[in-house]
Structure 1
């Protein structure tokens, strides 16, 4: 629905559409409104017959009363048509053809077709929403679905996270459409508001990722999330580094400074292009190197982090505390440790395995002979 404006002289040359706000009424309200409109159509038909009652005849007594007019209109607009009351004058038949018949069609479309559509769509939507809320727990809530939010969800997907356990909150309709295209549940609304966060079952969430464009909005969202869910792990993207400490005081478990991180990458790339390329390789997924976290294997227990084969250990998580690989307290790995490692990406490893297969080697040999 919109307002169309055009250039002077040619209204078809340009269209400027103004999107008007959409109010989602309850199914009961919609049914009530449609019922009143249908009643109005029935009233119009009844009045037409009543004021022109001399042009109608009743097979029972020949006269048409007000009750007969209501009866005739009811059986006519519902297409029942018993035929006991009929128009006999030419003008009354013409009125039935050009007025009563369109009223009958409008009545059926409005009361039957639209009402069934409202009941089916709204009822199904309410059932799906109730089912989702009942089963949604230990899920991930992403507040903001711009570039950072989409990248976060894509990373979760690449690490085989269940996208059915991810819900997006965004105030931009484009973000909601993107989330639906990516197969992620979404809620249209302001992520700083309590009622919107409650609709995402924030109190039962395990992870909360906040990627809003403004640091003050991110801070307010963090405070609200922390009040509604004190135990969730909250990760926040902040634009300015000076606001990082405020966000940590607001309850953020991890703060990522987006502008400073990009600036440092640009600076490193200028000082040493190879360092910048390596860091970019670590940040990119699916190619080259990747950073991952995994459980220590039984054959690695008792070894030094430097003795892990095939991977470079950057840190060890022990008792929920991250320690650098050179920390003396993790000189020997223990059962239950989590390792932060740099390793070859799974995509590159899969390509190498495919290239080393007998069929692939045979293909290479044939191509060399040709």
Structure 2
């Protein structure tokens, strides 16, 4: 804008110095800059014609420069970092009942692969810009920012999320993220990672629904493989994406069509293994004639075709 004003001042001032009135100078300047031309230009002196030529060249140069700036801004807005993040935010805004994964290290990536195998939508938050290429390669929805920020968690849709996984290497940061997330969404399920044994209690008091220590979990898994290998094989066999059969957890909502139905009717085609009542009571090998109540959690095993109607 300033370049255009300078150009107008240059043209009007130059024509006035050559003897034109203010109105004529403004007219000649506008005709030259818009490349319309004017018959009055033919009556100009040699100096006037040279000035008109210089004004035309300057006008074309400013126009080309302005066009380049506008084109660059358009390309950056559509294909550059800003445009990419706007499209990513629009994608995240469509998510409902999703999970938020804080940190995309080895643990976070393993969690993401499990969610992908089960068809569960999720958003990754990581402050490390060098991981952006990895997240783009994996085609995950992500935000490059601080996961402990309330604003960032809101952008990730925490108010409508189903759960949050804290997989940051720092226990202190996991505690802070857990506190912030619990304050923003009291009903959200939070699974947090603890590297140190002392952090387990801190995370639980901060509001974590479950706390996992990778080292303890690895030790337990190794012990199970040594003592009960067939149980581990069964659990691996029933993981999403590994077979047509799997274990599934179904929470009975207040408006569920399964309410009041006996298990033999509610679980057609699948095997009910366990019922956890709303008060925490466990019913292993539940009676086929027992009914389901609001807040119950049903653990079943069966093929996908039989599980789908129950899940829906």
Question: Normalized against structure 1, the TM-score is what?
Answer: 0.58
Distance in 2 (CA, whole Å) between partners of 1:319 and 1:339 is 11
Q: Is the contact made by 1:222 and 1:250 (CA closer than 8 Å) also made in structure 2?
A: yes
Partner of 2:166: 210
- What's 1:243 paired with? 199
Instruction: Give the secondary structure class of the aligned counterpart of 2:249.
Output: strand
Tell me the equivalent position of 1:149. 108
> Within 2, Cα distance between the matches of 1:43 and 1:211?
56
Alignment of 1:274-293 (within 5 A): 274=229, 278=233, 281=236, 285-287=240-242, 291-293=247-249
Is the contact made by 1:293 and 1:340 (CA closer than 8 Å) also made in structure 2?
yes
Counterpart CA distance in 2 for 1:264 and 1:44 is: 76
The CA distance in 2 between the partners of 1:275 and 1:115, in whole Å, is: 60
2:141 to 173, 182, 185: 185
Tell me if the contact between 1:268 and 1:275 (Cα under 8 Å) persists in the aligned partners.
no
> Equivalents in 2 of 1:73, 1:117: separation in Å?
32
Q: How much does 1:248 deviate?
A: 1.1
SS at structure 2 position matched to 1:321: coil
Query: Corresponding residue for 2:308?
Result: none
* Change in CA separation of 1:158 and 1:120 when aligned onto 2, cut-off 3 Å: closer
CA distance in 2: counterparts of 1:250 and 1:160, whole angstroms: 29
Indicate how the Cα distance of structure 1 residues 193 and 294 shifts in structure 2: closer, same or farther if over 3 A, else same.
Answer: closer
Quick one: which of 220, 239, 244 aligns to 2:176? 220
1:169 lines up with 2:128 in the alignment: no
| Matched residue, 1:255 | 211
Could you say if the C-alpha distance between residues 53 and 264 of structure 1 is closer, same or farther in structure 2, counting changes exceeding 3 Å? same
Higher normalized contact order (CA 8 Å, seq sep 6+, divided by chain length): 2
Match of 1:358 in 2: none
Judge conservation of contact 2:276–2:298 (CA < 8 Å) in 1: yes
Cα root mean square deviation, aligned: 4.6
- Shift of residue 230, structure 1, vs aligned partner: 1.0
Is the 2:102–2:126 Cα contact (8 Å) retained in structure 1? yes
Partners of 1:119 and 1:176 lie apart in 2 by: 18
Over 3 Å counting, the alpha-carbon distance change for 1:253 and 1:69 in structure 2 is farther
SS of the residue 1:155 aligns to: helix
Distance 2:35 2:52 in 1: 18
- Three-state SS of the structure 2 residue aligned to 1:106 is helix
The residue number in structure 1 matching 2:20 is 64
Alignment of 1:298-309 (within 5 A): 301=264
Number of corresponding residues: 286
SS at match of 2:36: coil
Counterpart of 2:307? none
**Is 1:45 paired with 2:1?**
no
- Decide whether the 8 Å contact of 2:191 with 2:209 is kept in 1: yes
Q: Is the 8 A contact 2:32 2:52 kept in 1?
A: no
Q: Is the 8 A contact 2:166 2:193 kept in 1?
A: yes
Paired residue for 1:305? none
Question: Per the alignment, in what secondary structure is the counterpart of residue 164 of structure 2?
Answer: strand
Residues 124, 244 of structure 1: CA spacing in aligned structure 2 closer, same or farther, 3 A cutoff?
closer
Deviation string, structure 1 residues 183-229 (Cα, Å, up to 9, x no partner): 54333311101111122232333322222221111110000011111
Partner SS for 1:265: helix
Alpha-carbon separation, structure 2, partners of 1:239 and 1:73? 73
Residue 212 of structure 1 aligns to a residue whose secondary structure is: coil
Q: CA deviation at 1:105?
A: 1.5
2:38 corresponding residue in structure 1: 83
The answer as to whether partners of 2:127 and 2:146 remain within 8 angstroms in 1 is yes
